[in-house]
Chains A and B, each alone.
Chain A
Amino acid sequence: MNAMVKAEGVHKSFGQIEVLKGIDLEVAPREVFCLIGPSGSGKSTFLRCINHLEKISAGRLYVDGELVGYRQKGDRLYELKDSEVALKRRDIGMVFQRFNLFPHMTAVENVMEAPVQVKGETRATARARALQLLDQVGLGDKAGNYPSQLSGGQQQRVAIARALAMDPKLMLFDEPTSALDPELVGDVLDVMRQLAEDGMTMVVVTHEMGFAREVGDALVFMDDGVVVESGHPRDVLTNPQHDRTKSFLSKVL
């Protein structure tokens, strides 16, 4: 089976600073793939490369067998036009640490926005689907609320529903619970767990080791722009091989 995400020697530099120093990894379809590591290790940057919010500097990055951001003809790479990049992003949902809901739209309008504007669905169809998705994340009664009237956990669940409205084949989570009060984390993780059970392919940057151990199918520990250790979450988290992994885990567990 083709990998959903495949990275071959991915580098990324911001000016002089090299943030990713050759990342190789594969995410299989229907897999929950967790990225852990200290802050500044490049895990969020790598996630943002997957839907081309950041351009990679070297290497190759494929999503569902296709190059991200480029087209290859012979030996030459051609940059994709903005509209082509946008077309590919439709299939990749993203959930941000700080939610990034549209504050001038209600919850249901947030979820409807992309299907109506990007896919050209009618407002009625999009609304019905949006309400169903809000129900699915446990917020059926908050459809008419603006983001400012929702708690952080509720906002993040709306953000997940918004991403799901485009029927993505891959979901990216960028520290989805890091900005939440501790008692709200559980609701968001429950939604993600349900999503995993439904067979969604997920790449999750997280500090929730419990979630990684219970739900994750694969885990990568990154530090300083390289993959230090990878394997099944249970193995890596309970029996880390590298010193850096050990010292990181001893601090967070």
Chain B
Amino acid sequence: MTADIKKKGPEDAPPPPPAAGAEAIRAVPVRHYGRYVTAVVAIALFGLIVYAFAQGRINWGAIPDYFFDDRIIEGVWKTLLLTALSMTIGIVGGVLLAVMRLSKNPVTSSIAWFYIWFFRGTPVLVQLFVWFNLGLVFEFINLGFYRDEWSDFMTPFLTALLGLGLNEAAYMAEICRAGLLSVDEGQTEASHALGMSHSKTLRRVVIPQAMRVIVPPTGNEVINMLKTTSLVAAVQYSELFRQAQNIGQNSGAPVEMYFLAAAWYLVMTSILSVGQYYLERHYARGSSRTLPPTPLQKIRQSVFSVRRPKGVST
């Protein structure tokens, strides 16, 4: 049997050194030929796709020309602003709705239920158009100190903000509710037994622990929101996608501008993903015995372990 195993080796491995104490295992690893085949196929397919795009009738040179164009940069800022503001509305509204849904008052909890049912059940693009055209229902807006015609009041920016923010609140409400429910009831009891009030219990004990459950999906929501903002191009708000479309139509390079927009979205979502990693790490405090290392720490560790074979822990 041992001879069989040896035959499979590429060349004869040097005989294991006489070990002191426990002998380290030096076996010939199993060869995964299937992996080689799939790797080659995957690389070939990828190469074909790259080739197809490279020789297609796309003027790649146009992308760097316009990449830092003033209009594009303005679109990027507007996209970021819209993402930040509508997520703020979404998170504040979501927390509020989650607390309402968990409330013992049947009126507030059913209102929250109805809100979530409506906004999750209809497409956000449809909601955007409804907000935009609500002038057919309300001719004027009158807030007492502010009075205007609806069509002047409901600018593309406000339409986008309300449409995205209110829709997001419904999703955030479910995320927050799941987070609050994930905290063990014993925590609330222990806090109450110490004489802490409901609001202090919520703020000091429940929410910090719920955050561990709330943060990862919220990070996804932010990234999702950043991409969903491209929908508001349809209601005339000149964020990144609309700017790219406009340039594309004027310069005669529409497809190139779509690629440009895609590249910008990728840059922004990549940066957000890094931020999410650190945020999740922060809220992992206490739940795991040791925090996972940051990428920087990982790099440092591997560099040091080359220099000092023992390795260092940071």
Seen from chain A, the residues whose Cβ lies within 8 Å of a Cβ on chain B are: 51, 53, 82-83, 86-90, 92-94, 96, 98, 100-106, 113-114, 117-118, 146-149, 159, 162-163, 166
Check A148–B286 contact: CB distance below 8 A: yes
Which are the 7 A-B pairs with shortest beta-carbon distances? A100-B190, A90-B195, A114-B194, A94-B193, A100-B186, A146-B286, A104-B286
- With a CB–CB cut-off of 8 A, which chain B residues contact A104? 208-209, 285-287
Seen from chain B, the residues whose Cβ lies within 8 Å of a Cβ on chain A are: 184, 186-187, 189-198, 200, 204-205, 208-209, 285-289
Check B197–A83 contact: CB distance below 8 A: yes
Check A86–B205 contact: CB distance below 8 A: no
Question: Which residue of B has the minimal Cβ distance to A149?
Answer: B289
- With a CB–CB cut-off of 8 A, which chain A residues contact B209? 102-104
Least Cβ distance of B80 to chain A in Å? 31
Check B186–A96 contact: CB distance below 8 A: yes
- With a CB–CB cut-off of 8 A, which chain B residues contact A118? 194-196, 200
Q: Which of these, B187, B193, B208, B288, contacts A89 with CB under 8 Å? A: B193
Check A86–B196 contact: CB distance below 8 A: yes
A103 to B182, CA, bound (A): 14
A147 to B187, CA, bound (A): 13
* A117-B200 contact in complex given A89-B195, A148-B289, C-beta closer than 8 Å: yes
Majority SS of interface residues in chain B?
A: helix
Check A102–B288 contact: CB distance below 8 A: no
Q: Which of these, B184, B192, B204, B286, contacts A53 with CB under 8 Å? A: B192
A184 to B220, CA, bound (A): 43
Check A86–B192 contact: CB distance below 8 A: yes
Question: Which residue of A has the minimal Cβ distance to B193?
Answer: A94
Provide 14 A-B residue pairs closer than 8 Å at the C-beta atoms, listed in order of the A residue: A51-B193, A53-B189, A53-B193, A93-B193, A102-B191, A102-B205, A103-B286, A104-B287, A117-B200, A118-B194, A118-B195, A146-B289, A147-B286, A163-B193
- With a CB–CB cut-off of 8 A, which chain B residues contact A106? 286
Question: Which residue of B has the minimal Cβ distance to A116?
Answer: B204
- With a CB–CB cut-off of 8 A, which chain A residues contact B191? 102
- With a CB–CB cut-off of 8 A, which chain B residues contact A92? 193
A101 to B194, CA, bound (A): 12
- With a CB–CB cut-off of 8 A, which chain B residues contact A90? 194-195
Least Cβ distance of B209 to chain A in Å? 6
A28 to B208, CA, bound (A): 40
Q: Which of these, A83, A87, A103, contacts B287 with CB under 8 Å? A: A103
Check B192–A100 contact: CB distance below 8 A: no
A111 to B172, CA, bound (A): 33
Check B189–A100 contact: CB distance below 8 A: yes
* A82-B194 contact in complex given A53-B189, A104-B208, A148-B288, C-beta closer than 8 Å: no
